Structure 1
Amino acid sequence: MKFNHILEMWKETKIPFDEIILTEEMIETGMDPVIIKNNMRKLVEVMLTEADQNYGKKHESLTGLTGNNAEKFLKHTPKMLSEFNYVATITALSTAENNASMGRIVACPTAGACGIVPAILYALKKVYNANFEELLSAFIIAGAIGNIIAKKATISGAAGGCQAEIGTATAMASAALTYYFSKDAEKCGHAASLALKSLMGLVCDPVGGFVEVPCVKRNASAANIAISTSEMALSGIESVIPFDEVVDAMYRVGKMMHEDLRETGNGGIAATPTARKLVEDIKKSWK
């Protein structure tokens, strides 16, 4: 599936973009669009349920390196963020910390990037009172963006760095948010492109190999990148480079990364003296 292909179908037919995506998926996989939509419905239900139950909640992670960030942010009165950004940030932190404590999440597209899309969907529900069907339609757009990246490039941090995980999730969230407000497929492509370009080259460097530091806080900052890039796309700002080409570029960048920067825990911040001492302390506490 190429974005340009489904975009041209939308321009020619003016059928709602989410319906075009479901039809294209049926052509590629042979699956009934109703079944595909129902499967996606279940994923949205889980994301919203877990976001609601874990909102600002304190967690106990495997290592203790994270777990109280969402709680801290819930108690904080924002000085610069809008209500929407604030809710999205808390949700991203909560969901990522829920993952770090072995809670139920939707890998969207991966566990390490699980907080970004739910952050956007839950903020739409909480701040804009978005109904479920609107959120489902937006999620279908997000799914298409993730599917394109997975097929054309990679969504694996081990294969392409964190740009493939956090970057993909941010592109998905930005496109979903843009679709909710505009129903404009072309703007969704620009939003996804702007988001992915903003995180291109991001390395995957989890301290100790655990999906905690810097993963949890990256989910929160990335949710805000999704919001800002969507806002740009909604204003009419366009990505000079088409989405399909941005995905190809991301894949090439990932291939150029040294293996130490691709989820091995051997490079980036994972290789800092503090990180290494933390890992040694964790190992000692487990003995």
Structure 2
Amino acid sequence: MLKYETISELVSEATKRNIKISELVLADQAAGMDKTEIEVYKKMKDSFRVMIESVKVGLQKDLRSTSGLTGGEGYLMNAYAEKDDGGLSGNFMSKAMARALAVAGCNASMGKIVAAPTAGSCGILPGCLVSLYEDKGYNEKDIVMSMFTAAAFGMVVANRASLAGAEGGCQAECGSAAAMAAAALVELRNGSPSQCADACAIAISSQMGLVCDPVAGLVEIPCIKRNVSGLAIAFSSADMALAGIGAKIPVDECLDAMKEVGEALPSSLRETARGGLAATPTGKALRDKIFGKGII
């Protein structure tokens, strides 16, 4: 059985067997859960279907969060993406951004999402994978399999560092999600297990120190927009790794550094809404508007 304590373990074992990380993880999880690989695969496929549906929900024009602070971002970005030139980032990336916003918006409006790995970072992996499926024609089976690689890397992050904004800042949420997505993207492009690890490391290092400062304590501002930033980092990290650009700092060392940085963050920057953007005059005014004055 795999221990999921280091990504180097996953890379080494997959390389030794000359298989993809996803194939290694699917077999390991099936054995550990006393289920068939088909059963475990089907459950992951169901998760991908939820991702697709949450994109559809989040793209609705009139969607609004319960607080009223956010809503419609996915719709606006999608409309922008459908312009002739697709905007500065091009049609594909603009639509991928729209999907990331859509899923995060679906979450804020109390819709059904897949925490990948958390609700606050739920738009990054779907934004990447649903875009490849719907706009690039990638095979559904390959995409679902890549989710096993993403999940395995996420398990290592959870065991070695943290996935919680309250514990490690947003680097532990959007940073981890971007790293997981980057690894999945590399595998989908037939990259090697070691390139998956490089992409993960690059993504982690690109968001090192990102704080968790939700306005009014709600997973909306700036969380929803950070899903787009995480998506862009996932794609760029994957492309760098596929181009043969190594991470230089091994991925497991990056995770150790992320844990150290997270522990060094003051409590005001770890989901307490007492620092960062949450402590700005506008952030406080929005908090007071929702909950009333005097709420800390």
What is the TM-score with the length of structure 1 in the denominator?
0.94
Take 1:115 and 1:220, find their aligned partners in 2: how far apart are those partners?
A: 8
Q: 1:13 and 2:17 equivalent?
A: yes
Deviations 1:29-80 (A, max 9, x none): 4543523322212111111222234335441112221102112212223332
Q: 1:224 and 2:214 equivalent?
A: no
Gaps of 5+ in 2: none
What is aligned with 1:59? 63
Identity over the aligned pairs, expressed in percent? 38
Contact 2:186 2:242 in 1 (8 A): yes
Take 1:83 and 1:265, find their aligned partners in 2: how far apart are those partners?
A: 35
Cα root mean square deviation, aligned: 1.6
What is aligned with 2:35? 32
Deviations 1:81-127 (A, max 9, x none): 13321121000001101100001101110000000000011110122
What is aligned with 1:147? 155
Q: 1:168 aligns with which of 176, 180, 184?
A: 176
SS in 2 for 1:182: coil
SS in 2 for 1:247: helix
Deviations 1:118-155 (A, max 9, x none): 00111101221112101111111111111110111110
Paired amino acid for 1:247:
L
Paired amino acid for 2:235:
I
Contact 2:65 2:109 in 1 (8 A): yes
Q: 1:23 and 2:27 equivalent?
A: yes
What is aligned with 2:143? 135
Higher helix share: 1
Kindly report structure 1 stretches of 4+ aligned residues shifted beyond 4 Å. none
Contact 1:18 1:141 in 2 (8 A): yes
What is aligned with 2:105? 97
Contact 2:191 2:242 in 1 (8 A): no
Aligned ranges 1:245-284 → 2 under 5 Å: 245-284=253-292
Take 1:53 and 1:99, find their aligned partners in 2: how far apart are those partners?
A: 10
Residues 262 and 44 of structure 1: is their aligned pair in 2 closer, same or farther, counting only changes over 3 Å? same
What is aligned with 1:188? 196
Contact 1:56 1:91 in 2 (8 A): no
Take 2:225 and 2:58, find their aligned partners in 1: how far apart are those partners?
A: 16
Q: 1:198 aligns with which of 192, 196, 206?
A: 206
Contact 1:22 1:33 in 2 (8 A): no
Contact 1:163 1:203 in 2 (8 A): yes
Paired amino acid for 2:231:
A
SS in 1 for 2:208: coil
What is the TM-score with the length of structure 2 in the denominator?
0.91
Take 2:62 and 2:102, find their aligned partners in 1: how far apart are those partners?
A: 8
Deviations 1:197-216 (A, max 9, x none): 10010000000100000000
What is aligned with 2:243? 235
